[in-house]
Each structure stands twice: as C-alpha cells, then as structure tokens.
Amino acid sequence: MAKASTQAAGHLRIDGVYELGHVLHVLDAELHGFSRSDIERVECFWTFGDLHQSTAGFVLVLRDGRRAYVDFRHWHAFEQEEDFRIGVEFLRSDQPYPALSSPQEPLGGWLLNTRHLGKLLASLPPAQNSTG
C-alpha cells in the first residue's frame, strides 16, 4: 500500500521522513559522491511500505548543481537483523525522473510536494565531517 500523499489541514505530513532519515544517516561522501551537507533540497520522491519492507526514491538537488537519485531499501526483519541499503545515481540536469519499474511501484508515482522533507533537512545540525 502506498503511503498517503495528501495532507489534511492541521496534520503533520510524514511520508518519506523515515526513509530520508536513514539515507542521511548512511550517506558517505567518499562512497556516494556527496554527503548530507551537500544537499540543497529534495526535488521529488516516492515511497512504498508494507509489513516486510520500506522503499523510497529521492531526487536530490546538490549545492553544486548536480542532481542525484537515491534509491532506499529497508527490510524489516522480524526477530532477525534489519538491513537497509542505498544506491546513488547521478542524473543530468535535463534528465527526467528515473522510471518506476518496480512491481511495488507506488500508486501515486513521484510526489512533488517536498516541503516537509525540506524542513527535515533544515532542522539537522551541520555534519561533523565530510562523510556526513
């Protein structure tokens, strides 16, 4: 089931916050080509979650003008170790959003309202080092 993409008046929007938090935690400048302090804004995103996994994708605009797509996968292991991974792909400035070809493609597709994710980014303290 895709997470709700609409926000009722007075309700806090949280879709993508959990997943972006994990992404920001594991980003490593040497491994991924940028750190969380390099992110200017979230351009768009998608999320999907069920009892077994959470998945998401974020198109991030970096302070140097590059665009990166971050793919997030989190397996919810009941009574086992949890696992989550991210993959990073750099996009050309004119490149459209990556195609959603997963069988679990979220029903809403790409979500463009990212204001709540921008608030998350703005609320974080500066990274302690270049690896975020």
pLDDT digits (tens, 9 = 90+) for 61-116: 999 999 999 999 888 766 666 778 899 999 998 888 887 655 555 656 888 999 99
19 against 7, higher pLDDT: 19
Model pTM above 0.85 = no
Helix orientation angle between 17-26 and 115-123, rounded to the nearest 10 degrees:
40
- Bigger pLDDT: 4 or 70? 70
pLDDT at position 126 is 74
Report d(CA 39, CA 118) in Å as an integer. 10
| Residue extents of the structural domains in the chain | 17-123
Q: Dump pLDDT digits (tens) for 27-53.
A: 999 999 999 999 999 999 998 877 778
Rounded Cα distance between 21 and 24, Å, is 5
Q: How far apart are CA 7 and CA 70, in angstroms?
A: 24
